[in-house]
Amino acid sequence: MKNPQKKPASKITMSDVAALAGVGSATVDRVLNERGNVSDDVRKRVLAAARELGLRRILPSSHHRHVRVNVILARPERPLITRMANEFRRQSLRLDRTISIHRTLLKYESPEAISEAMGRGGFDAIIVDAPDHPLVHATIRELAAQGRPVVTIISDVPETERLAYAGIDHHKAGRSAAFFMGRMTPAASRPGKVVVLCHHIGFQAHAERIRGLTDQLLAAAPHLELAEIVRGGDDPHVSEMKLKDAFRRHPETTGIYNAGAGNRGVVAAMRAGILPRPPIFIGHELTAFTWASLRDGSMTLTIDQSPELQVQHALEVLMSHFGFESAGHAEPPYVSTVPFVIYGPQNLPDQQPA
């Protein structure tokens, strides 16, 4: 089977698959949507053509065991979790029909609540954003012993029996924040201090971001001192109050790095006028609020962790693990290569995110 005119994957259509497989478009539709009335030979030809062309969708599988996946996400009021939950819903419509996605949205993100949700019966696999905590470690160990794989998403739980991690390199994200902060505040102008806001360092993502920031400041920006780490619990009001107190303790603050989701609290604290000069503010995620804050100059940069690609990678890992055919490229040992994207005022999307 040869494809003499290779199109970009984003432009591949069912008609292209039909032409390469030597069948009609209706047959391709029946195969890809598993409507039946197609011989095994034709089905294999259609799937082979779709894979060769790089059709951007998850393909059906010859393996028909029903796999039930529990996606566990906490605090859905946070924009990142909303984006991720919506993407799981969208991807579930494209999955092989023998894979079903159940979304468990928790009000609290305590290790106890997350571990209890992970241990619920009736599921063959778990995708979870969890803290790096002994209780979570023990739950992952039990699930692995039961043959129920766990994929961590957003924040990893390393040194466990989890199957894979789907997410960005948070250490590099923190280093990137410090790199730009150091270049934007050269030593020749005005040395200063950096205040860091985070949820709490129990989540590996936040701990790694702060470690990356610290490493880069020590290596390349000695004129900037890490003055204080403020733990705001991703609560905008708590973050605002604690940051205001930190600004009073450190009026020399020239940079703020938010490793978590309390961006509204940062901007509110900055607008209180406590600091003599507007600081550089680097945070995370492209949301409606950060988009507007970048546009009006309140925020300097935001580091988006591509949650849609995390969802895609997590599902491809599980499909590979359970023997499903996929248009993806996940193979053991399942190393995540999800990129992060740095947005400033000049490269924002034209439309404000929903």
Q: Which two tokens stand for residue 345?
A: 């005022």
Cα three-residue angle 115-121-122, rounded to 5 degrees: 135
Whether the CB-CB separation of 307 and 83 falls below 8 Å is answered with yes
Give phi and psi for 178, each to the nearest 5: -70, -35
Q: Which two tokens stand for residue 63?
A: 């393996």
Q: What interhelical angle do 25-32 and 14-21 show, nearest 10? A: 110
Residue 232 forms beta bridges with which residues?
Answer: none
Q: Is the peptide bond before 60 cis (omega within 30 degrees of 0)?
A: no
Q: Which two tokens stand for residue 242?
A: 């604690």
Residue 153 forms beta bridges with which residues?
Answer: 166
Compute how many other C-beta atoms are within 10 angstroms of the C-beta atom of residue 232.
24
Q: What interhelical angle do 25-32 and 40-53 show, nearest 10? A: 90
Can you give the pLDDT at residue 302?
Answer: 98
**195: which DSSP letter?**
E
Whether the CB-CB separation of 146 and 123 falls below 8 Å is answered with no
**83: which DSSP letter?**
H
Can you give the pLDDT at residue 94?
Answer: 85
Can you give the pLDDT at residue 36?
Answer: 64
Give phi and psi for 280, each to the nearest 5: -70, 135
> Rounded to whole angstroms, how far apart are CA atoms 189 and 168?
33
**56: which DSSP letter?**
S
Give phi and psi for 63, each to the nearest 5: -95, 120
The pTM for the full model equals 0.81
Rounded to whole angstroms, what are the CA distances from 241 to 232, 234, 274, 275?
9, 12, 12, 14
Whether the CB-CB separation of 108 and 74 falls below 8 Å is answered with yes
> Rounded to whole angstroms, how far apart are CA atoms 86 and 240?
29
Torsion of CA 15, 21, 24, 29, to 10 degrees: -70
Compute how many other C-beta atoms are within 10 angstroms of the C-beta atom of residue 75.
18
Q: Which two tokens stand for residue 266?
A: 């940062």
3-state SS assignment for residue 293: helix
Rounded to whole angstroms, what are the CA distances from 174 to 84, 194, 303?
22, 13, 9
Label residue 27 exposed, middle or buried (CB < 10 Å: 0-12, 13-18, 19+): buried
* Helix, strand, coil % in the chain, rounded to nearest 5: 40, 15, 40
Could you state, in chain order, the average pLDDT of each consecutive group of 10 residues for the chain (354 residues)?
58 89 90 71 83 78 73 95 95 86 96 97 96 97 96 97 98 98 78 92 92 97 95 96 98 96 97 96 97 98 97 94 73 94 97 88
Q: Which two tokens stand for residue 64?
A: 């028909």
What domains are there in the chain, each with its CATH number?
9-53 (1.10.260.40), 67-167+307-338 (3.40.50.2300), 170-304 (3.40.50.2300)
Whether the CB-CB separation of 339 and 306 falls below 8 Å is answered with yes
Q: How far apart are the first and last CA of the chain?
A: 43
3-state SS assignment for residue 347: coil
